[in-house]
């Protein structure tokens, strides 16, 4: 094998292909060749350009997030717990043995693991506003003398909240959002979700059937609590946590570190119609949209959206709450309270849901204003404070 300084893109591509082949071998000559080619590739990358491909840390974190790999499971591959932490925080570079082990056991592409690590990948997170920090302490999720960095590490481990935010998939995030406060809220959701036990479903859930089952729980005075229990049977955690100043959130769908799906609601609009629509919207995200590179979906439902994924979730929520055949047959701008009650009974849902749907579609928010079930969600016996 002839070694040469890499000067062109074709040479660079061939070198990476050689490394991908050599990394799976264990003979001494292949190991020596691997070391040389790795050095040549690093020299080319260092002097030529900043890689667009993921950094080694980002590549490892991606596999952890989407493969359900924990930091503890990395210990047999990388070494001690302290060494895993040092690598994932950028304090220790990967050795060739580590690269080979990660490639063989986690199937991470070799060229991603030998890339130059960018300094910003391990930068310290900014602090949220003092109002957001005060709210965190009032919620009891951050300890009295705990630093913000330690709080995030306790919630997310070495993977970190920034990695989760990079996998956000939605256009319903308010442009004014305080990103540090958002990370803080997500950390609080994760900490609460981690303490909730849910069942492991025996077979995949059928989203439409699940949606209708949950929608029909709205007729009960304790419907929101029953919905949480029903979701737990499906392996989904429901967390109720007030939004922090600067976050502008109605709900979110995400995954715990063990892959369990989580729905989080803020209840910032304390109305039954809003609760059930937001819940069903996030159920759709949890059942059909998480995965394939998306590990977090954030929703400010005051924002309109033409995004396909958001349109699907909106339609899912509407149709689960009031079946489209019923709505199309009954809808009219001339409804009175008896019409609302009749359509609600036919749909098997609370009248507040039908009243809210009528308001939204006709743009009249004064009519049926007293029928929306205001103040009936936060007052539910949720475990732990909502605000």
According to the model, what pLDDT value does residue 121 have? Answer: 42
Helix crossing, 9-22 with 28-48: angle to 10°?
Answer: 150
**Strand order, beta sheet including 251-255:** 236-240, 261-265, 251-255, 296-299
Maximum C-alpha span of the chain: 86
Sign of CA dihedral 222, 235, 277, 343: negative
DSSP letters, 122-158, are: GPPPPP--HHHHHHHHHHT-S-TT--HHHHHHHHHGG
Ranking 35-44, 89-98, 119-128, 201-210 by mean pLDDT, the lowest is 119-128
Quickly list H helices, 236-307. Answer: 272-284
Ranking 37-51, 65-79, 94-108, 213-227 by mean pLDDT, the lowest is 37-51
Residue 264 has pLDDT above 70, yes or no: yes
Please indicate whether residue 106 or residue 193 has the higher confidence score (pLDDT).
193
The structure tokens 């409804």 sit at 335
According to the model, what pLDDT value does residue 116 have? Answer: 52
Please compute the mean of the pLDDT values over residues 353-381 and round it to a whole number: 95
- The Cα angle at residue 323 between residues 322 and 325, in degrees rounded to 5: 125
According to the model, what pLDDT value does residue 384 have? Answer: 54
- Of 157, 371, 186, give the one whose Cα is nearest residue 274: 371
According to the model, what pLDDT value does residue 122 have? Answer: 42
Considering the chain, tell me which residue range(s) the CATH 1.10.260 domain(s) occupy: 9-122
The structure tokens 């040389």 sit at 36
**Rounded to an integer, what distance in angstroms lies between the CA atom of residue 90 and that of residue 88?**
6
Q: Could you tell me the pLDDT band of residue 352, with boundaries at 50, 70 and 90?
A: very high
Quickly list H helices, 49-129. Answer: 56-67, 71-78, 81-88, 96-106, 110-113
According to the model, what pLDDT value does residue 80 have? Answer: 81
Phi/psi for 255 (5° steps) reads: -125, 145
Residue 50 has pLDDT above 50, yes or no: no
pLDDT digit string (tens) for 161-181? 555 555 555 656 666 788 889
Query: How many other C-beta atoms lie within 10 A of the C-beta of residue 296?
Result: 22
Average pLDDT taken over every residue of the chain? 84
H or E stretch at 368: none
pTM of this prediction? 0.68
pLDDT digit string (tens) for 55-108? 788 888 888 877 788 888 888 888 888 888 888 887 788 877 788 788 888 888
Query: How many other C-beta atoms lie within 10 A of the C-beta of residue 304?
Result: 9
**Rounded to an integer, what distance in angstroms lies between the CA atom of residue 26 and that of residue 31?**
6
Q: Does domain 9-122 have CATH number 2.60.40?
A: no
**Rounded to an integer, what distance in angstroms lies between the CA atom of residue 328 and that of residue 344?**
14
Q: What is the CA radius of gyration of the chain?
A: 25
**Rounded to an integer, what distance in angstroms lies between the CA atom of residue 293 and that of residue 166?**
10
According to the model, what pLDDT value does residue 17 have? Answer: 81
Strands in the chain per DSSP E? 236-240, 251-255, 261-265, 296-299
SS3 62: helix
Residue 123 has pLDDT above 80, yes or no: no
According to the model, what pLDDT value does residue 51 have? Answer: 43
According to the model, what pLDDT value does residue 387 have? Answer: 47
Please indicate whether residue 343 or residue 81 has the higher confidence score (pLDDT).
343
């Amino acid at each position: 094998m002839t070694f040469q300084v890499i000067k062109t893109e074709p040479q660079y591509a061939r070198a990476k292909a050689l490394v991908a082949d050599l990394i799976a071998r264990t003979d001494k000559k292949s190991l020596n060749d691997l070391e040389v080619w790795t050095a040549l590739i690093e020299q080319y990358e260092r002097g030529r350009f900043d890689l667009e491909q993921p950094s080694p840390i980002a590549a490892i974190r991606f596999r952890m997030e989407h493969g359900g790999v924990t930091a503890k499971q990395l210990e047999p591959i990388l070494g001690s717990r302290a060494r895993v932490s040092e690598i994932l925080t950028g304090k220790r570079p990967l050795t060739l043995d580590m690269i080979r082990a990660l490639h063989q056991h986690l199937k991470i592409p070799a060229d991603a693991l030998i890339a130059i690590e960018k300094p910003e990948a391990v930068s310290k997170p900014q602090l949220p506003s003092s109002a957001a920090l005060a709210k965190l302490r009032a919620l009891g999720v951050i300890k009295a003398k705990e630093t913000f960095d330690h709080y995030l590490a306790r919630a997310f481990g070495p993977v970190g909240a920034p990695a989760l935010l990079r996998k956000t998939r939605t256009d319903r995030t308010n442009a004014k959002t305080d990103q540090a406060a958002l990370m803080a809220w997500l950390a609080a959701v994760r900490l609460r979700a981690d303490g909730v036990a849910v069942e492991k479903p025996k077979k995949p859930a059928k989203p439409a059937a699940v949606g209708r089952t949950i929608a029909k729980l709205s007729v009960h005075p304790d419907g929101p609590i029953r919905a949480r229990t029903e979701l737990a049977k499906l392996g989904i955690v429901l967390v109720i946590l007030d939004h922090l100043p600067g976050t502008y959130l109605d709900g979110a769908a995400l995954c715990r570190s063990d892959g369990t799906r989580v729905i989080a609601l803020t209840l910032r609009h304390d109305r039954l119609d809003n609760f059930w629509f937001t819940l069903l919207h996030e159920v759709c995200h949890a059942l059909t949209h998480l995965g394939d590179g998306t590990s977090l979906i954030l929703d400010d439902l005051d924002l309109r959206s033409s995004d396909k994924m958001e349109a699907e979730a909106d339609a899912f929520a509407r149709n689960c709450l009031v079946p489209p055949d019923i709505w199309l047959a009954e809808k009219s701008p001339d409804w009175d309270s008896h019409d609302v009650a009749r359509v609600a009974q036919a749909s098997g849902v609370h009248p507040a849901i039908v009243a809210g749907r009528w308001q939204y579609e006709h743009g009249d928010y004064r009519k049926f204003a007293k029928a929306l079930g205001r103040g009936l969600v936060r007052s539910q016996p949720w475990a732990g404070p909502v605000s």
